[in-house]
Structure 1
Amino acid sequence: MQLAVYNKNYAFFKVTRLILAFATWLFCICSLTASELVRGGLILHEVNGQVGLKELGKDVTRLSTGDVPITTMGLIECEASDGSSAFFTASNRSAIYFEGSGSFAVERFEQVMPELAEWNADSVEQSRIILNFRGGDLIVDTRKMRKLKSSQFLVETPLGRLTTKRALWQMRILFDPRSQIFDFTIICTEGRVRFTDLQGQQYTVHTGRRLAGAGSRMKPSIEVGESTERSQQQMQRYQDLSSQHSDAADDFTQYLAYLAVIERNVRSNSERAALGRLNTARRPIVIEYAKEPEPVTPFRGELKPPSTYQADLF
């Protein structure tokens, strides 16, 4: 009898705890209102081979096929060995496919909290992503970012910066540490990609075109051509993964628990701190003038006539 009462109380306690946990989660989600600036979230749908993932403030986690799918906060670092790959989707409806060997990092990911109905209608609100790509193969898909006129997806590389406008594109970066030579390609499958090198020279890559370069990071030689068979096969792998995980990627509720409100006071404090550092760095150096020297008094020298000894020498 006592055992039955204990089991009944335990079951009641367990159900109550689950209800409280769900209520807490629901309260947190409801506190995110539309038009509020939040830090976005990512879903890692699939990994292949040796992939390492590091969230902001955490250690690197080595992932295998059985560890996915997982949802993370938007600021991550991802590294993959040669032949390994990872496929991500983001809460701003963009997608990232990455193959090693190399690494990339999402250094900034902000977006305006959308209405659920609008997000499901492929009309995502304004967002901003800054991605740092160091090496390997990267595919970025921003075609579902409908309001890209007011949004930004920037990719920083050792060779320059890429900006996109509703595009599906890929980039490969290879680096030889012995010769310090880079070899890179940028291929646009759909849309338009703009590449600005470290000298400020701009290149626009349109649909079906390939921009290739090799040399030092400051002055690589550039040529334009068509996409290669290898790049087409790689793009096909991405499209297969995108189709396979489309249902999960298009479920905005999967991201909700990992969206974090960016507080205005935190942003203003960081901006003031950055401004303070800037002002300190630009503080002028004041050079005080020295006192004027005393006037020089002209001096007239007189030569004595040579002695008898000096006269004998000369």
Structure 2
Amino acid sequence: MVNQLAKQREILSVIDTLSGHYLQGKVRALRLAMIALLADGHLLLEDIPGLGKTTLALALSRALGLSFGRIQCTSDLLPSDITGLSIFDREQNNFRFIKGPIFNHILLVDEINRAMPKTQSAMLEAMEERKVTIEGTSYSLPHPFIVIATQNPLEQIGTYPLPESQLDRFLITTDIGYPPSQLEKDIIRDGGIRNKMIQIQPLLTLNDIELAKQAVATIQLNDKLVEYILAIAQASRGHKFIAAGISTRGAISMAAAARAAAYLDGRNYVIPEDVKLIAGPVAAHRLILRPEHRSLNHREVLLSIFNDVPVPLV
């Protein structure tokens, strides 16, 4: 337990350092990013351009000391631009596989919804199974592996909605939001932090991250909370506004994220507040609303479900 607490403090130091010196006003987004990493999931940052989505991913990769790959999505991006391709080596007289940017611990997929659906789907196997299959050969991805994707609002020109199957692969979806007025004033005066990124030194090792992930997996989730998560999922499936509710994968994701949230709070057990904390970021994007209700806010619909499901006493 003492060792677990020490690792937990090291994880929190990443959030504190980045939010205190480089990413002021982004504590919530940083915490959710760390929950995604510890729960072995992926993160989708959804907001308008210019609020620091890409900067957050870059800063996090440097602080974690992990290898980093970046894909700038455009309408002409090909699946092989992500996964890699085989080329003929004339000297060796055979084909040689050239790895794409997906073969990194952290993959930043910038403006993912500007890529064509076929290209978006190229990442499904990687996000689910941590491998890619090219020309019949499977290649394992490094561990840990996390996709941090950014997405602009769908009403912007040249964007394509992510298919439900791919949205379901993201453990957490969150926005960035505008900074507080005084902080935004300071940012305007001092300029952005891109030129300061080189100052960020690794605060963790691969071993630190693996030990923290192992500790998260041991966090206790008692039967009452399992039933609570199941009740939320089942209530979403029968809701009058929802065509397709939270899947079993979504319920598993809620449990995994709740364990990671408990770990960051220094507990070795989950409480109902952990489930409530992660419910919106984990479950809202998984809801498919009926056509006549698609103008509704997904998180508000999810909140109405929570209000109808009794909170267990643990």
Please state which band the TM-score falls in when normalised by the shorter chain: under 0.3
Normalization by structure 2: what TM-score? 0.27
Q: Which has the higher contact order (CA 8 A, sep 6+)?
A: 2
Q: Which has the larger radius of gyration?
A: 1
Q: Name the structure with the higher strand share.
A: 1
Normalization by structure 1: what TM-score? 0.27
Q: Name the structure with the higher helix share.
A: 2
